[in-house]
Amino acid sequence: MRKTARRTTLATALVGTLLLGGATSYALTHDLTGHGDARRLDGDQSAQVRKQIRSGKAQNVILLIGDGMGDSEITLARNYQYGAAGELPGIDALPLTGQYTTYALDKANGRPDYVTDSAASGSGWATGTKTYNGAISVDVEGTPQETLLELAKADGLRTGNVTTAEIQDATPAVQMSHVTARGCYSPTRMKDCPENALENGGAGSITEQALDTRPDVVLGGGAQYFQDKATAGEYKGKTLLRQAKDRGFTVVTTAKKLDRVTTADQDAPVLGLFSPGNMPTEWAGPAATHTGGAEAPVTCGVNPDHTADVPSLDTMTSKAIDLLDTKAGKKKDGFFLQVEGASIDKQDHAANPCAQIGETVGFDDAVQVALDFAKKDGNTLVLVSADHGHSSQIVSAGSTTPGLTRTLTTTEGQPMTVAYGTAEEGGSQEHTGTQVRIAGYGPQAANVVGLTDQTDVFYTIKHALGLG
């Protein structure tokens, strides 16, 4: 399991506690006071950029999505963990970058809905089709749209889906299922999409469709929904967990059990369920409040709920790559893997900067795993982006706003105040409609440069893998 030095320091020094006021001071890693001291570039970069532009087909694609990870969320994590002049060693290391638009569609008239949710955004990159908020890989009429994971599997590639959320949550769901309402997790939760229920002739709930889609590797939370029983079909009356086992899935529930898994294929797909709901965050800290920005600065601590039984995102990513990167007995070599850092978004909703930043740092660790593999492999396209922006902002240190604030002490020993202003205390902060970063490495990564749309990701990956 990859841990940065700073995260190790937190784990060792704080042992899951918060230090309020008098936070630990860390030496500056850069002297920024002199002429040119803040420069990131060294001379003309034209040759380096040309070197990174590669055409040709990719054998593998790893798509990493930081849910809710807008530019502000990236900057917050960089400042806190590595300093203003530092770099996130995964996200900031991808050489080719651009921005993409994220808007959804109005279901009633097909016109732009400027602020997307994860379901519509994920459906866009998974299928190439814009849709309405709440839709899971169906168009505005409710017609299923084929996903990248389905196309990859049909073409003989191995497939994987990794998340720190429930595996039924919108981002993982868009690759494995097609429902008209994102909350249709299991047979008892189909009231918003009755047409999709098995007993009504539909394909079933998100969980049931995930079992039918049968990726080689699925890792995340959401174990509680596997206790629901099928209401129709061959497995009627059986729990979805029993169904998974009867259909040959290798079900694992702890990090230790995941570590012991050595194979994953269509004969024995791996289903990792590590939490009843969303997986616990890696870091913890106090939420923003109306007065939090003016209170003593806080140093973030590790989350005691993230126990040794819970694998980190970089561990799950590494294991998924190991299991998918095998050539034994397959029609084609290669794989498609989607990885989501889900709780950047969820902790942004909760106005909890420490938990949010910790999830961004954990996501960056997973990006490093993917990038390290791609550099060794030589035939892997890595794409890193977000589904939408979110509401956290860096404001003047120690200030308060009409919204909610919390001041943190960064690795440089400096105060950094984080503000949230789209919901009242105790409410859910809102997404924003901003464009977000997309970055790439490997064959055809140049297609992310400039301004694109989330739906372009579908075509970039489809063409890079030669799908369909």
Partners of 335 in beta bridges: 60, 158
Residue of 430, 467, 437 lying closest to 451 (CA atoms): 437
The H or E element spanning position 298 is strand 298-299
- DSSP-derived pairing of the beta strands 217-221 and 270-273: parallel
In a domain, 27, yes or no: no
Q: Tell me the residue type at 319.
A: K
Domain span holding position 92: 66-289+300-393+431-465
Is 392 known to be catalytic? no
Backbone torsions φ then ψ of 271, nearest 5 degrees: -120, 105
Burial zone of 408 (CB within 10 Å; 0-12 exposed, 13-18 middle, 19+ buried): buried
Q: How far apart are CA 240 and CA 271, in angstroms?
A: 12
CB 104 within 8 A of CB 388: no
Give the chain's domain count. Answer: 1
Q: Which amino acid is at 189?
A: R
CA 157 to chain centroid: 22
Collect all residues with Cβ–Cβ distance below 8 Å to 92 and sequence separation of at least 6: 78
What is the pLDDT confidence band of residue 326, given thresholds at 50, 70 and 90? confident
Q: Which of 46, 72, 118, 385 is catalytic?
A: 118
223 phi/psi in degrees, rounded to 5: -60, -30
Q: Is residue 67's pLDDT more than 60?
A: yes
pLDDT in the model for residue 12: 31
Using 50, 70 and 90 to split pLDDT, how confident is the model at 26? very low
The pLDDT of residue 400: 87
What's the CATH number where 169 sits? 3.40.720.10
Residue matched to tokens 């140093």: 299
User: What SS3 state is found at 202?
Assistant: coil
Q: What is the pLDDT of residue 29?
A: 53
Asked, for residue 113, whether it belongs to a domain, the answer is yes
Closest residue by Cα to residue 345 from 112, 122, 105: 122
CB 419 within 8 A of CB 401: yes
Note whether residue 7 is domain-resident: no
Residue 386 lies inside a defined structural domain of this protein? yes
Question: Which distant-in-sequence residues (6+ apart) come within 8 Å of 135 by Cβ?
Answer: 107, 119, 120, 123, 142, 180, 181, 182
Q: Is residue 3 part of a domain?
A: no
With respect to residue 48, please indicate whether it lies within any of the assigned structural domains: no
Whether 90 is in a domain gets the answer: yes
What gap in Å lies between CA 17 and CA 10, rounded to an integer? 9
- Three-class SS of residue 143? coil
Looking at the predicted structure, is the pLDDT value of residue 18 above 50? no
Q: How far is CA 175 from CA 125, 148, 294, 336, 416, in A?
A: 9, 7, 44, 11, 37
Q: What percent of the chain has pLDDT over 70?
A: 92
- Give the model's confidence band at 3: pLDDT under 50 very low, under 70 low, under 90 confident, else very high: very low
Helices (H) and strands (E) in the chain, counts: 13, 19
Classify residue 10: in a domain, yes or no. Answer: no
**94-112: average pLDDT:** 98
pLDDT tens by residue, 359-382: 999 999 999 999 999 999 999 999
